[in-house]
Amino acid sequence: MNDTISRPDAIATRQHWMSVLARAPAEAIASALTRAGPLPVWSRVRGPETGLVMVRGRTGGSGSPFNLGEMTVTRCTVRLGSGVAGHAYVAGRDERRAELAAVADALLQDLNTGSRDSLIGPLAAAQREQRLTRAEKAAATRVEFFAMRNMRS
């Protein structure tokens, strides 16, 4: 049996860790990297540089696309001493965050699955907890509307 990950699975795995890194704060990425062990030497290939991207939306989620507006994004590409390149795009102007996310991407490409889980797992868990907390706060403010005729006996 072949133990290698199929290409679609590898792409989905990388998409997952890239999305987690794109949403994680710089301090969280830095602490995850230091927990993973000594940081390798890296050099900047491109950036970090800040620019704008057009955000598109769809009416009702499935209608015709339209330009919603522009969003500030910072991107960075680094190359580790081993030759592996890492890329990152993060919302906002935080150059340190973009560089750390690119370093983490390069490291994650080199690591085995267990090491990947130990690096990305805590970041993903923290983001999941934040989403749950926001959902609970939103649910607490929910208002139930009903017709007045339902109140009459």
The tally of domains found in the chain comes to: 1
Domain assignment present for 32:
yes
Task: Specify the pLDDT at position 129.
Answer: 93
Task: Specify the pLDDT at position 104.
Answer: 92
Domain assignment present for 1:
no
Please work out, in degrees rounded to the nearest 5, the angle formed at the alpha carbon of residue 134 by the alpha carbons of 30 and 26: 10
Write out the residue range of the structural domain in which residue 123 sits.
7-150
Domain assignment present for 119:
yes
Domain assignment present for 98:
yes
Side chain identity at 133, as an amino acid letter? T
pTM of the model: 0.79
Task: Specify the pLDDT at position 151.
Answer: 60
Burial 76-112 (b: 16+ CB within 10 A, else e): bbbbbeeebebbbbbeeebbebbbbbbbbbbbbbebe
Task: Specify the pLDDT at position 148.
Answer: 57
Task: Specify the pLDDT at position 22.
Answer: 93
Across the 153 residues of the chain, what is the mean pLDDT of every consecutive 10-residue run? 60 90 94 85 93 91 89 96 93 95 90 74 91 89 68 58
Strand stretches in 18-131, DSSP E: 42-58, 65-80, 85-91
**Strand-pair partners of 70:** 54
C-alpha to C-alpha distance for 21 and 122, rounded to whole angstroms = 11
